[in-house]
Amino acid sequence: MEQIITLKSGALEYPWIIRAYLLSKAAAQGVELTPFTALRGNPHDYWFLDGDFIDRGEID
């Protein structure tokens, strides 16, 4: 988990999966998060990311 959060996991999609999870949990609880500085925008807009993999939300 630490490697993913520090963007050293080796899988570009893993941090985006964690980001989506945190955003979902925060929204469900009505919590406003500080904006992310490294992961901005929609991951589907980045050609080098596997959007389907991110959408599945599973980390190996």
With a CB cutoff of 8 Å and minimum separation 6, the contacts of 19 are: 36, 39
Predicted confidence (pLDDT) at residue 43 exceeds the cutoff of 90 = yes
With a CB cutoff of 8 Å and minimum separation 6, the contacts of 18 are: 4, 5, 59
Question: What pLDDT digit, counting tens, does each position of 3-27 carry?
Answer: 888 888 889 999 999 999 999 999 9
Q: Whole-angstrom Cα distance, residue 31 to residue 40? A: 19
What pLDDT does residue 54 have? 96
Mean pLDDT for all residues in the chain: 92
